[in-house]
Structure 1
């Protein structure tokens, strides 16, 4: 089984790209969704112990939590120490499940792939990219986003230029959906060919 890490900076179109892989019949494991599930269930109590007042009605309030950790590197490290092991365990369980179903390729949608050092866990890295002006326009159009908040998020992310250099494949999301879809199809074909060669 090929483990594919899919990543990209904020506003690059990673979620749309993940859906394109799904449309090609590839299983995509969404790290953000895993975290979301942990915030509603098993992770909530541990996070509340570390950051009192961020859990409301048994669910982590993401806005309250973000306010506590966004500009505090030590707090962010504490949060990651709680959440990351839970995410990895959930991810491993999902891989076993997909293996049992006979999947040969699994894509892991991980926003902070390089930032967390997770790239070593994958056979292939796909980076979703777009020019800076397209990225800025997309992000600043989001509700509640400010230039300051955007700058703060970018400062914590590996620069797009570095991600592109470290990628095995790129998906460009500024050339229209059809062009991006073609790139995803070509990546899937290349991965299937690699698996066939090694079979």
Structure 2
């Protein structure tokens, strides 16, 4: 099974992945893969980024400053489109490779921009996690994000409601971790029982 997990920033994708991991799934995370690509000169990403934006997006030790890149792309749609066109094919290629090489063939892949990237067809089924906007913003503020930064990032994605409407399954994450765990537990059983042959 190859299942997609999506949802807007701050909706709880990482926590949901942890739940599915406890149920025996191999978990993949697009954000983690992006970070690995940023740190690997052989990926071609650091070179392309340096050519596009220069040394200002690098730390003195040569590592990419992701915060500086975020500041650029969330202010300029042209730049975020360029970055996505660079990263998305590489992220998908790496995820496919990891899934193929895994001895565990029940794989769930968390992708914030799954629908925006046009990847729904890559998965047998897609789960979207939704959170009330006020709760979502409170979570992001706890990460140290300003309201302006939250607004910029959220505008760059489909809304949580839109993602929910495009998905095959929904998780509503407005409550406790226990509530999230129970929803993931039920969904795990449902997917395995009814969709294992197509996911």
**TM-score relative to the length of structure 1:** 0.90
**C-alpha distance in structure 2 between counterparts of 1:124 and 1:158, whole Å:** 19
Aligned to 1:44: 46
Residue correspondences, number: 193
Aligned to 1:180: 180
| 8 Å CA contact 1:44, 1:58 repeated in 2 | no
The 3-state SS of whatever aligns with 2:162 is helix
| 8 Å CA contact 1:26, 1:105 repeated in 2 | yes
1:164 aligns with 2:167: no
1:97 aligns with 2:101: yes
**C-alpha distance in structure 1 between counterparts of 2:87 and 2:162, whole Å:** 26
**86, 99, 102: which one pairs with 2:90?**
86
For structure 1, list consecutive stretches of 5 or more residues without a partner in the other structure. Answer: none
**TM-score relative to the length of structure 2:** 0.90
Deviations 1:49-91 (A, max 9, x none): 1221112323211011112221111111221222122112211
1:1-199 → structure 2 map (5 Å cutoff): 2-41=1-40, 42=43, 43-53=45-55, 54-56=57-59, 57-98=61-102, 101=103, 103-143=104-144, 145-194=145-194
**C-alpha distance in structure 2 between counterparts of 1:89 and 1:197, whole Å:** 23
Deviations 1:136-176 (A, max 9, x none): 22112221x11111111111111111111122111222221
**C-alpha distance in structure 2 between counterparts of 1:95 and 1:197, whole Å:** 17
**C-alpha distance in structure 2 between counterparts of 1:107 and 1:195, whole Å:** 13
Report runs of 4+ in structure 1 exceeding 3 Å deviation.
Answer: 195-198
| 8 Å CA contact 2:13, 2:129 repeated in 1 | yes
The 3-state SS of whatever aligns with 2:129 is strand
**C-alpha distance in structure 1 between counterparts of 2:165 and 2:178, whole Å:** 24
For structure 2, list consecutive stretches of 5 or more residues without a partner in the other structure. Answer: none
